[in-house]
Structure 1
Amino acid sequence: MRMMLAPRARPGRLRRLRGAAVALLLLAAPVPAAQAAGTPQPDAAPPRTVPELADWTPGNGSYAIGPGTRLVAHGRAAREVARTLADDLRAAGEGRVPVTGGSPRDGDIVIDVAPGRRTLGAEGYDLRAGKRLEITGATGTGAFYGTRTLLQLLAGDDRVPGGHTVDVPRYKERGVGVCACYIHVTTPWLENLVRDMAYNKQNQLLLELKVKSDKHPGANSWGYYTKSEIRRLVALGEKYHVTIIPEINSPGHMDPWLEKRTDLQLTDSDGKPQPSRLDITKDEAFAYYTSLIDEYAEVFPAKSWHMGADEYMLGSDFAKYPHVLAYAKKKYGEKATPQDAFVDFINRVHAYATGKGKQLRIWNDGLTGANTVPVAAGTSVEHWLDVKTKPSELIARGYPVQNAAYSLYLVRGGFHTDTEALYEKAWDPRQFEGETLASRDGITGAKISLWPDNGRGETENEVAASMALPLSHVAQVTWGSAHPDPTYAEFTERAESVGHAPGWRNLTKPPVADGTYTLRDTRGRAEPAAYEIKRTADGYVTLKSTKDGDCLETRSGRLTLNVPLEPGSSVTRESCDPASTLQRWQLARTADGYRLTNAITQMSVYVTDDGRLQQYPADQKAPAVWKLTTA
């Protein structure tokens, strides 16, 4: 989740030597002939970017976009990169830069995809700045990342210092994980995240979420995403070279899908069903889960499928489910363990996903070593918890392993990663929970993970503000050096100097000024009411009634992750509490007025025929449209 309360500053490039300090240096050192003649000397330090340019050779002069600048590209892949760069240059305030296939001239930006440049790999690039600026990649993705560096350099000073870099990532997977698995994280917020990820050369967004199902409408509890929303997000990811990988956690944490499928819930020895656990011994349960894989494949083209496979027995143990052991012994013999039934389910999903052209991904905590049946070869393991089976053992067995360490987590209303401490000790993806490896071999990369355990603990904008530097840090350590600057303060300056990606939207600006307004429902179902509207520190608004001094809030209905996510529950006036996130609202302009949406539930205010206020997803009930007039 990569937003901030306000856009980060984009200061000009630092000038290292000024005033008396320059004079003292000139007196103390011999003066080269070229310098004595007035020729400017190139700065040996690489210009500041995130990630850092590890290989930088300074040159003379500088490059700047001028009125005659063109984007010169030949071939389909290069032209596609050039068109995206043209969009971003315009969003960055550089005007319309045309894309052409002509011969390059001074002042142009040249984009080239040269498959013969094998040393650049799939994502590296070569950038040269002088009278013209040239970016070369062995693939379109590599050339694209070169354009991200260009945009960052222009953000700092509108001018690129003369020089040359060959920039190649250390790790293949540079990721962010977002659990939108119960609550609804808004799509504008996710779109901002995709843009900023690409800007910092991160390439993998793992989303645990619910897509509104056509095949299983009974499972469509809020907050799902419509398929059209997902298609737009995936298209943005494809444009910006961010692969979006979906996750439906199973066989544990399946309560969002099993609420009305009690027949598929695991039942304990006392006959009590477990709403979050899928019964892995039932063929119908496997068929249900794989039907969800098929439906998600309609909107997610990624060649990976994340099944989670974590915390299946969280708060319980296999001894309470003797039929699971019976299933394992029947299939694998008398020496089988209940854990073998769990691994069997993973392997069956692996076989199904592989048959659909997708690599399976799982969390590591279920690999406790209590199984006799091995996890299928090729399964990618995301290591977040220290258990008996260590990363080194997984790598030795040939499994691709990603570092998803708990130390990189941000939990709403809970644990937040300590980025400064990680930076100062030069944390890198070799440092797993419980084990540090000497080599990068077998490690695919690392990701930072966002969880909504207390869904009302923080708003999206608050999470965004706390995440900006952690995300920059993970981008840095997965691409290059773990410690590019001597201090964390200097790394913070580096991250702030590049700012946000072009096209990033500031979601913290309410469309109306603070003041007292009368709200009128345009359909006349609700009585007009006067409210004092006031912006909150995180960029939402509160609505305080001038009649009774209470604030508009949603609190009724069943709670999920401490959030009232039940459509149709009441919107009421309650005693004002500045700390209550449930009293924070988003005002959004519409053609006829304003829509009012709760900042936490992401459901909009709907007015019943008898004038009561309720909350509903916008695709279930048309949100009320409000006219605001100054009271």
Structure 2
Amino acid sequence: MDLVPAPSDTSAAPGTGAFTIGATTTVEAAPGTESTARWLRTVLGAATGFALPPATPGDIRLALDPAAAPEAYRLDADATGIRITGGPAGVFWGAQTLRQLLGPEAYRRAPLAGTKLRAPHLTVTDAPRFGWRGVLLDVARHFLPKDGVLRYVDLLAAHKLNVLHLHLTDDQGWRVEIKSHPRLTEDGAWRARTQFGPHDSPYFDERRHGGYYTQDDLREIVAYAAERHITVVPEIDLPGHNEAAIAAYPELGNTDVVDTSAIGVRTTWGVSENVLAPTDEVLRFYEDVFDEVLELFPGPYIHIGGDECPKTQWRRSPAAQARIAELGLADEDELQSWFIRHFDRYLTERGRKLVGWDEILEGGLAEGATVASWRGYEGGIAAATAGNDVVMCPKQHVYLDYRQAEGEDEPWTLGHAQTLEAVYGFEPVPPELTGEAAGRVIGTQANLWAETMEDIRKIDFQAFPRLVAFAETAWSALPPPAERDFAEFRARLAGHLPRLDALGVEYRPLDGPRPWQQRAGIHRS
């Protein structure tokens, strides 16, 4: 059956054979399952050409099970039809499993002649290991138009991933419309040119690059994701990674040590020393920003970055040093913590939860913060031990923008080789954590940073098939990495790739890049 991620339990139903989707097949949606039924009719109706009308009783029956966990489900297929029961999200994940059982043709947008969609007689019971199964899309370094984001929502849903982390702001671009501060997108969403290749590359694409999402675009993305039981987590970075914002509003920077009026949206990669000034005016400005962001993103989590904030300007700035003295802080690390704690209180007062990269540990961790541990396990271990929630996303394991193998045919990336097998062997809960601290690891996330991913084709190449391996790590109750059967997973993956083909995903083949996916050499100057 080649199911991915691997379900908790699969057993053959009595008898043999398969249930076939036909012209008379109907769908029954019990209260609370209407959106899943609508999705199922849409995708299977397109693949078969059949109407799949609502009926009671129906051949495909969807119902909530009040005793089931929110994301758990049970799927039964036999000669009488198909029944999917579970929690509100679980019924949707069960519908995704049904689509996999029906074969690659179920992923087509129009029926193919002679194709019949059949579900084998079986029972699947399933539930996820983690509640946070995330993917970061970096739309700041290279803007991804709205259609591309919606497409990735569907790809996440197909693999039972339930968090889309949108990295919306960085030195290289600001991508969310803020009506109270319109220059953030009028000026901050556009850069004059773009570095081509790694951080030390001397080559540039001289075309102007940019774009942003209107507030209605983001409402649409959030609503589309919610129908697929995916939470969208926005990231508005502070106090570092703000060169684009300072280019739009120079008063946000450390004006006593830098001529911020000469700063433009950053055109190279790496870490900028142009960071926010520690003033009350900057706090109010970003409260304005978050006031609008919270209205657009109703989910519980708001990511504030907090990473890679050089302290060079603060050390030189008389105003920053005076602020440190005024607040009774020990040093610039505590000044950064002051920034983070301010917005932790701001979000907590509004019923939201702050998420930040593991640098928010430096200078003292805000009480309610969730830590996204990216530099390794260490930050996550420290946060979990201190009683804070953790999302494990160490770059050594789940940075999918890193190249997939050694060799000159692999396209330009910024990191070391991160093979499919290595991703499959990733364990989000390190052995150092046990008991209550281990329970603080609420999930895991794969990150797709976009310095070298200029379009949707390159994102596909970097994400797949490694994202399939990651999805199984995030969902399935796998044995320890040393005991995992990569050969068995790879065999199931071979059966899954035709589904990706039907979806039009330009993944990296298991035996290496296709000719047009290979490194073409530097050709822009």
TM-score normalized by structure 2?
Answer: 0.77
Q: Contact between 1:280 and 1:286, CA under 8 Å: does it hold in 2?
A: no
> Which position in structure 2 is the counterpart of 1:467?
463
SS at match of 2:471: helix
SS at match of 1:257: helix
> Which position in structure 1 is the counterpart of 2:89?
141
Q: Contact between 2:400 and 2:418, CA under 8 Å: does it hold in 1?
A: no
Q: Does 1:110 align with 2:61?
A: yes
- Cα distance, 1:498 vs structure 2: 3.9
Cα deviation 1:226-253 (Å, max 9, x = unaligned): 2232232222212211111111111100
> Which position in structure 2 is the counterpart of 1:443?
441
- Cα distance, 1:313 vs structure 2: 1.1
Q: Contact between 2:165 and 2:232, CA under 8 Å: does it hold in 1?
A: yes
Letter in 1 for 2:182: P
Q: Does 1:379 align with 2:369?
A: yes
> Which position in structure 2 is the counterpart of 1:427?
426
Q: Which has the higher helix share?
A: 2
Q: Contact between 2:460 and 2:505, CA under 8 Å: does it hold in 1?
A: no
Q: How does 1:183-332 map to 2 (within 5 A)?
A: 183-209=142-168, 210-220=175-185, 221-222=189-190, 223-267=211-255, 277-313=274-310, 316=312, 319-321=315-317, 323-332=319-328
- Measure, in 2, the Cα distance between the counterparts of 1:226 and 1:136: 38
Measured at CA, do residues 581 and 91 of structure 1 come closer, stay the same or move farther in structure 2, by a change above 3 Å?
farther
> Which position in structure 1 is the counterpart of 2:2?
48
The structure number with the bigger radius of gyration is 1
Could you tell me which of 336, 349, 353 is aligned with 1:359?
Answer: 353
Cα deviation 1:40-77 (Å, max 9, x = unaligned): xxxxxxx32111123112223232212321111221x1
Letter in 1 for 2:184: A
Q: Contact between 2:130 and 2:443, CA under 8 Å: does it hold in 1?
A: yes
Q: Does 1:490 align with 2:496?
A: no
Between 178-187 and 147-156, the greater mean CA deviation after superposition:
178-187
> Which position in structure 1 is the counterpart of 2:22?
66
Cα deviation 1:55-105 (Å, max 9, x = unaligned): 112223232212321111221x122221111111113335221123x234x
- Cα distance, 1:481 vs structure 2: 4.2
SS at match of 1:382: strand
Letter in 2 for 1:177: L
- Measure, in 2, the Cα distance between the counterparts of 1:191 and 1:55: 31
Q: Contact between 1:267 and 1:279, CA under 8 Å: does it hold in 2?
A: no
Measured at CA, do residues 450 and 402 of structure 1 come closer, stay the same or move farther in structure 2, by a change above 3 Å?
same
Letter in 2 for 1:301: P
Measured at CA, do residues 70 and 500 of structure 1 come closer, stay the same or move farther in structure 2, by a change above 3 Å?
farther
Q: How does 1:384-395 map to 2 (within 5 A)?
A: 384-386=374-376, 390-395=379-384
> Which position in structure 1 is the counterpart of 2:268?
none
SS at match of 1:175: strand
Letter in 2 for 1:79: E
> Which position in structure 2 is the counterpart of 1:40?
none
Measured at CA, do residues 301 and 337 of structure 1 come closer, stay the same or move farther in structure 2, by a change above 3 Å?
same
Could you tell me which of 173, 177, 191 is aligned with 2:132?
Answer: 173
Q: Contact between 2:446 and 2:467, CA under 8 Å: does it hold in 1?
A: yes
Measured at CA, do residues 404 and 507 of structure 1 come closer, stay the same or move farther in structure 2, by a change above 3 Å?
closer
Q: Contact between 1:123 and 1:168, CA under 8 Å: does it hold in 2?
A: yes
Measured at CA, do residues 257 and 272 of structure 1 come closer, stay the same or move farther in structure 2, by a change above 3 Å?
closer
Q: Contact between 1:280 and 1:341, CA under 8 Å: does it hold in 2?
A: no
Cα deviation 1:454-499 (Å, max 9, x = unaligned): 46xx543023123111111111100004446535632431431543
TM-score normalized by structure 1?
Answer: 0.65
Measured at CA, do residues 79 and 453 of structure 1 come closer, stay the same or move farther in structure 2, by a change above 3 Å?
closer
Q: Contact between 2:360 and 2:371, CA under 8 Å: does it hold in 1?
A: no
Q: Contact between 1:430 and 1:437, CA under 8 Å: does it hold in 2?
A: yes
Q: Contact between 2:253 and 2:277, CA under 8 Å: does it hold in 1?
A: no
Q: Which has the higher strand share?
A: 1
Measured at CA, do residues 377 and 295 of structure 1 come closer, stay the same or move farther in structure 2, by a change above 3 Å?
same
Q: Contact between 1:71 and 1:97, CA under 8 Å: does it hold in 2?
A: yes
Structure with higher RCO (Cα < 8 A, 6+ apart): 2
Cα deviation 1:403-437 (Å, max 9, x = unaligned): 1111311337322662334156x222125xxx864
Q: Contact between 2:4 and 2:493, CA under 8 Å: does it hold in 1?
A: no
- Measure, in 2, the Cα distance between the counterparts of 1:161 and 1:497: 18
Flag structure 2 segments of 5+ consecutive residues without an equivalent.
106-116, 169-174, 191-210, 264-271, 402-411, 479-483, 508-514
Q: Contact between 2:142 and 2:455, CA under 8 Å: does it hold in 1?
A: no
Letter in 2 for 1:95: F
Q: How does 1:459-538 map to 2 (within 5 A)?
A: 459-482=455-478, 483=484, 485-487=486-488, 489-499=490-500, 504=503, 537=516
Q: Does 1:80 align with 2:51?
A: no
Cα deviation 1:495-553 (Å, max 9, x = unaligned): 3154368xx56799xxxxxxxxxxxxxxxxxxxxxxxxxxx9469xxxxxxxxxxxxxx
- Cα distance, 1:377 vs structure 2: 2.0
SS at match of 2:487: coil
SS at match of 2:61: strand
Letter in 1 for 2:146: T
SS at match of 2:121: strand
Measured at CA, do residues 205 and 49 of structure 1 come closer, stay the same or move farther in structure 2, by a change above 3 Å?
same
> Which position in structure 1 is the counterpart of 2:418?
418
Q: Does 1:161 align with 2:124?
A: no
Letter in 2 for 1:146: G
Measured at CA, do residues 499 and 386 of structure 1 come closer, stay the same or move farther in structure 2, by a change above 3 Å?
closer
Letter in 2 for 1:337: D
**Percent of paired sites with the same residue:** 25
Q: Does 1:397 align with 2:386?
A: yes
Q: How many residues align?
A: 447
Flag structure 1 segments of 5+ consecutive residues without an equivalent.
1-46, 509-535, 540-576, 584-631
Letter in 2 for 1:350: D
Q: Contact between 1:192 and 1:505, CA under 8 Å: does it hold in 2?
A: no
> Which position in structure 1 is the counterpart of 2:110?
none
Q: Contact between 2:376 and 2:394, CA under 8 Å: does it hold in 1?
A: no
- Cα distance, 1:155 vs structure 2: 1.9
> Which position in structure 2 is the counterpart of 1:349?
343
- Cα distance, 1:438 vs structure 2: 5.4
